[in-house]
């Protein structure tokens, strides 16, 4: 059975791109979220095997979303999607419980490597 | 790796450390300026943290980490104990205990630790600031400058333990601080990370090139560590060094000797030992049969084998009994905390002492002892020890004393709970007992034995008038039943104004005992040697009558007789003229049991025994004799 993924990003472009990379690699995209609070809500509903999480999103940011999700499920596997220069935010996200990160612009191979590491 | 198989081990070890924490906190409370308890606490919590991290219990790890941070600040600052700190640490210890217990049964998520975590962090921060403030105020005038600098994280330690891990990230790796942090996180999942160089805060600096090192205290093998850490991604080079022993000058030595040969112990599930004991019990029965057959056949070859089998199985039995022996501190160690908490709650001042912690008992017996002892200790604090003001009025020191002692006596262990409190109000108990018809209406005083018998009557103890006026009694019947079921006895000594002592006597082991086999009529009975003092013959000693009971005089002491034949209403045959008397001794009490004949001594396997209603309370179990016929085991406590 393929792993299920929840993709969280406020940009449709980024969501589509990540979804495509993962779908082509055999993952099942079970949901998408545009804001942090949506991500938390959908995580609760869908219980995906993996979450990709943008850092900067309206309403509730990615890092707060990580905190909320990890509170619900300490074993949640969350992959942060960050941009160059967001070092401090990435560190904060990892401290909040994110398991790994990828840096935009995405290279499919690096995204898949990170996903493999997260899923162990 | 499937970690569930390690859960029990984790639980057992964590409990030991948590129990140690209680002892250490109490010690610190007694010597607020002492540093040893704080260091001990730090180490205990640190160990729990490392184990929990390995098990993947994130919340236990987190809570232990916060506690450890506070302890580290206390340790470094040589901070004395305050009431507030002690209460906080006791609370934290209890929370950690709950966290451990819940995690092991997969209910970690039910944990509510936010409040205690916040309190711990708050205390650590406040103390750290106070320290910096004090240092800054030294040369300057005591200005009102609030220092904003918190000392570096306590992780950096000069003499750190564990393996040295050196990491270099790929030069092209983006956001090296994040990657380095992921490596550290993976390391933390394996054990305890110390001495991170450069400090974690420097990872985010512009010039961080992705080279860092730390010490990892983990049970994992070097290659396991390397694989796990490399999986964090973007690692170019990674080396895992040898293990280092705490303290300077020992670097490079293997870690094992420092542990004092600990590796020579293994933990065994108690059920395994129980199973083994059952098998050996059956072996003992079979051996009995073999011996009997050998005796009948008179074949020297069979005799030889029988003797050899006998010896081997005796040795085996001795070994397994020894393996089941557990020092009493495993149960006693939780009492100091309980006594302390109860005394505080009741506004009493109590010094609690434990003696003979190293005395050993069969694990099964020890496990059953906790509750009865708890009852007795509770009574001692609640009803025995007077409030400080009352003690002063009576010319006693305001602080009362409760002593829990274990002493080995022949084949039994005596455990005493004594207090220097007000003693039992005998007139009150006597009056009440008369009203209940428990004693003769003309009785003028209660002996210790009578007192105990009255107190141990079910229901008597719960009567409010008695407990509120004279105290005592609560749970004595419960304790007594439990102890008797283990083949033990309870004695009581009480002096008005001076205190009360309860003495519990227990056999050292339950499962297999040496017993005298006696006959009465057609039946055989087993009398465990634990309480047998000697045997004499009726007709060779002086008999007399004391207080309407037949007795013998043995070396100037009067020993009342119990005729088993009459007690059991055996009518067949007649009692022989020179009937053997088995003299039982239990503390100060003695009795001579008159039987028809003595068939010798042998080891018997004690089987549980649910006495049918109406059975005399003189049997504690049953056993199967060598010929396969069952015999009842006489209970010395019941006969006395």
Catalogue all structural domains in chain A, each as residue range(s) with its CATH number. 4-119 (3.40.50.2300)
Interface of A with B in 82-101 (CB under 8 A): 82, 84, 86-88, 90-91, 94-95, 99-101
Stated pTM of the model:
0.49
Nearest CA in chain A to B1: A120
Q: Residue B358 CB: number of other CB atoms within 10 A? A: 9
Query: Do the Cβ atoms of B185 and A94 come within 8 Å?
Result: yes
**CA B76 to each of CA B20, B201, B436: distance values in angstroms, whole numbers, following the listed order:** 21, 21, 63
CB distance from A23 to chain B under 8 Å?
no
Q: Which residues contact B633 (CB under 8 A, 6 or more apart)?
A: B515, B525, B526, B527, B528, B604, B606, B609, B619, B620, B621, B622, B623
Contacts of residue A62 in chain B, CB cutoff 8 Å? none
The beta strand positions in chain A, using DSSP E, are: 4-8, 28-33, 50-54, 78-83, 100-104
Mean pLDDT by 10 residues, chain B (640 residues): 70 88 90 86 84 81 89 84 90 92 86 85 82 48 38 39 86 89 90 82 80 86 90 89 48 35 60 80 79 83 84 81 84 87 88 90 85 87 90 92 90 90 84 74 75 68 39 61 78 88 85 83 86 82 82 85 86 77 82 89 72 70 76 82
Q: Complex ipTM, two decimals?
A: 0.85
Quick one: CA torsion of A19, A89, B53, B26, rounded to 10 degrees?
Answer: -150
pLDDT for B5 equals: 66
DSSP letter at B79 equals P
Q: What is the CA radius of gyration of chain A?
A: 12
When scoring B109, B174, B200 by the number of chain A Cβ atoms within 10 A, the one with the most, hence best to mutate, is B174
* CATH domain B512-639 topology: OB fold (Dihydrolipoamide Acetyltransferase, E2P) (2.40.50)
Chain B partners within 8 Å of A84 (Cβ):
174-175
CB contact, 8 Å: A111 with chain B? Answer: no
Rounded to 5 degrees, what are φ and ψ at B203?
-60, -30
Please compute, for residue B509, the number of CA atoms within 13 A of its CA located in the half-sphere on the CB side: 20
pLDDT, position B631: 87
Supply the pLDDT for residue B265: 66
Which residues from B are below 8 Å from A89, CB to CB? none
Residue of B60, B153, B172, B178 to mutate for A, most A C-beta atoms under 10 A: B178
**B464, HSE (Cβ side, Cα atoms, 13 Å):** 0
Pairwise CA distance, residues A115 & A50, whole Å: 8
HSE-CB for B445 with a 13 A CA cutoff: 4
Q: Indicate which residue of B17, B379, B383, B563 is catalytic.
A: B379
**Interchain CB contact of B233 with A (< 8 Å):** yes
Output the pLDDT for position B147.
37
Nearest to B85 by CA among B98, B97, B95, B71: B71
Architecture in CATH for domain B4-137: Up-down Bundle (1.20)
C-alpha atoms less than 13 angstroms from C-alpha of B553 in its C-beta half-sphere: 6
| Residue B464 appears among annotated catalytic residues | no
3-state secondary structure of B268: coil
pLDDT at res. B387: 92
B153 Cβ under 8 Å from any chain A Cβ:
no
- Residue B413 pairs in a beta bridge with B408, B506
Q: Do the Cβ atoms of B195 and B155 come closer than 8 Å?
A: yes
Contact A94 B232 (CB under 8 A): no
Residue in chain B closest to A113 (alpha carbons) equals B233
Query: Hey, which residues 51-70 in chain A have their CB within 8 Å of chain B?
Result: none
Catalytic residue among B22, B29, B46, B386: B46
Pick the CATH number of B163-244 from 3.30.470.20, 3.40.50.620, 3.30.70.1110, 3.30.1330.60: 3.30.70.1110
A107 touches chain B (CB under 8 A): no
Residues of B in contact with A100 (CB under 8 A): 182, 232-233
Are the beta carbons of B175 and A117 separated by less than 8 Å?
no
For B557, the 3-state DSSP assignment is: strand
Please indicate whether, in this complex, the C-beta atoms of B232 and A101 are within 8 angstroms of each other: no
Q: Do the chains contact at B175 and A86, CB–CB below 8 Å?
A: yes
Q: Which of B17, B22, B65, B68 is labelled catalytic?
A: B68
Closest C-alpha to A77, from A9, A2, A3: A3
Residue B55 · residue B7 · CB < 8 Å: yes
Name the residue facing B204 among A87, A100, A101 (closest C-beta): A87
Q: Using the structure block, give the residue that is written with the tokens 């005596």.
A: B414
Which of A74, A87, A117 comes nearest B178 by C-beta?
A87
Question: Which pLDDT score, from 0 to 100, does residue B612 have?
Answer: 64
Residues of chain A short of pLDDT 70, as ranges, are 1
CA distance A10 to chain B (A): 22
Q: Kindly state whether B172 is in contact with chain A, defined as any CB-CB distance less than 8 angstroms.
A: no
B195-242 confidence digits (pLDDT tens) = 788 877 788 777 788 889 888 888 888 888 999 999 898 998 898 887
Q: How many other C-beta atoms are found inside a 10 Å radius of the C-beta of residue B9? A: 12
Pairwise CB contact (< 8 Å): B178 & A91: yes
The pLDDT score that the predictor gives to residue B136 is 45
Query: How confident is the model over B277-330, as pLDDT tens digits?
Result: 778 877 877 887 888 888 888 888 888 888 888 888 878 877 887 888 888 988
Name all contacts of B5-8 with Cβ < 8 Å and 24+ positions apart. B6/B54, B6/B55, B7/B55, B7/B104, B8/B104, B8/B269
Which residues 6+ apart lie within 8 Å of B528 measured at CB?
B487, B507, B513, B514, B515, B604, B633, B634, B636
Helix and strand totals (H; E) in chain A: 5, 5
CATH architecture of B341-507: 2-Layer Sandwich (3.30)
């Amino acid at each position: 059975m393929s792993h299920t993924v929840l993709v969280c990003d406020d940009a449709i472009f980024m969501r589509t791109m990540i979804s495509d990379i993962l779908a082509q690699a055999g993952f099942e995209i079970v949901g998408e979220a545009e804001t942090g609070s949506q991500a938390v809500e959908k995580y609760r509903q869908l219980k995906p095997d993996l979450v990709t999480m943008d850092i900067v999103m309206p309403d509730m940011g990615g890092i707060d979303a990580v905190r909320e999700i990890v509170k619900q499920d300490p074993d949640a596997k969350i992959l942060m999607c960050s941009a160059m220069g967001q070092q401090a935010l990435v560190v904060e996200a990892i401290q909040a419980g994110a398991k790994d990160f990828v840096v935009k612009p995405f290279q499919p191979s690096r995204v898949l490597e990170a996903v493999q590491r997260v899923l162990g | 790796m499937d970690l569930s198989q390690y859960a029990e081990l984790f639980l057992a070890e964590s409990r030991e450390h948590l129990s140690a924490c209680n002892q250490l906190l109490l010690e610190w409370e007694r010597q607020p300026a002492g540093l040893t308890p704080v260091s001990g606490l730090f180490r205990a919590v640190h160990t729990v943290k490392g184990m929990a991290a390995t098990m993947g219990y994130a919340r236990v790890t987190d809570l232990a980490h916060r506690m450890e941070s506070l302890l580290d600040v206390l340790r470094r600052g040589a901070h004395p104990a305050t009431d507030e700190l002690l209460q906080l640490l006791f609370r934290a210890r209890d929370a950690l205990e709950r966290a451990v217990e819940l995690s092991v049964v997969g209910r970690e998520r039910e944990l509510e630790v936010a409040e205690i975590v916040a309190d711990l962090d708050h205390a650590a921060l406040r103390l750290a600031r106070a320290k910096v403030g004090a240092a800054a105020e030294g040369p300057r005038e005591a200005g009102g400058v609030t220092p904003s600098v918190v000392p570096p994280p306590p992780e950096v330690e000069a003499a750190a333990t564990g393996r040295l891990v050196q990491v270099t990230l790929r030069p092209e790796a983006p956001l090296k601080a994040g990657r380095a942090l992921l490596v550290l996180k993976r390391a933390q999942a394996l054990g305890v990370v110390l001495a991170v160089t450069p400090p974690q805060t420097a990872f985010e600096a512009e010039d961080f090139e992705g080279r860092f090192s730390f010490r990892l205290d983990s049970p994992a093998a070097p290659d396991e560590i390397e694989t796990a850490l490399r999986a964090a991604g973007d690692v170019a080079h990674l080396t895992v060094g040898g293990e280092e022993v705490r303290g300077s000058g020992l670097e490079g030595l293997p870690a094992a000797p420092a542990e004092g040969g600990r590796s020579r112990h293994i933990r065994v599930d108690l059920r395994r030992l129980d199973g083994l004991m059952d098998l050996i019990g059956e072996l003992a029965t079979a051996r009995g049969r073999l011996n009997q057959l050998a005796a009948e056949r008179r074949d020297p070859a069979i005799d030889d084998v029988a003797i050899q089998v006998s010896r081997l199985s005796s040795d085996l039995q001795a070994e397994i009994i020894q393996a089941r022996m557990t020092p009493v501190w495993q149960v006693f160690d939780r009492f100091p905390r309980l006594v302390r908490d109860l005394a505080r709650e009741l506004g009493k001042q109590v010094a609690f002492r434990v003696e003979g912690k190293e005395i050993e008992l069969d694990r099964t017996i020890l496990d059953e002892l906790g509750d009865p002892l708890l009852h007795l200790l509770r009574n001692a604090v609640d009803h025995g020890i007077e409030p400080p003001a009352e003690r002063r009025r009576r010319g006693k020191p305001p602080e009362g004393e409760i002593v829990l002692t274990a002493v080995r006596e022949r084949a039994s262990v005596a455990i005493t709970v004594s207090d220097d409190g007000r003693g039992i109000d005998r007139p009150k108990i006597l009056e009440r007992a008369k009203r209940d018809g428990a004693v003769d209406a003309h009785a003028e005083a209660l002996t210790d034995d009578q007192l105990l018998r009255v107190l141990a009557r079910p229901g008597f103890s719960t009567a409010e008038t008695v407990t509120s006026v004279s105290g005592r009694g609560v749970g004595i019947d419960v304790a007594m039943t439990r102890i008797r079921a283990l083949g033990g006895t309870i004695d009581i000594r009480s002096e008005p104004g001076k205190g009360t002592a309860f003495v519990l006597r227990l056999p050292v082991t339950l499962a297999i005992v040496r017993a005298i086999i006696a006959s009465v009529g057609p039946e055989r009975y087993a009398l465990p040697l634990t309480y047998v003092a000697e045997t004499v013959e009726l007709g060779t000693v002086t008999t007399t009558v004391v207080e309407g009971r037949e007795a013998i005089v043995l070396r100037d002491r009067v020993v009342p007789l119990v005729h088993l034949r009459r007690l059991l209403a055996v009518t067949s045959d007649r009692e022989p003229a020179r009937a053997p008397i088995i003299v039982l001794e239990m503390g100060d009490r003695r009795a001579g049991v008159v039987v028809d004949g003595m068939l010798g001594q042998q080891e018997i396997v004690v089987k549980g025994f649910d006495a049918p209603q109406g059975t005399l309370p003189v049997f504690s179990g049953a056993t199967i004799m060598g010929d396969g016929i069952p015999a009842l085991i006489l209970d010395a406590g019941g006969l006395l």
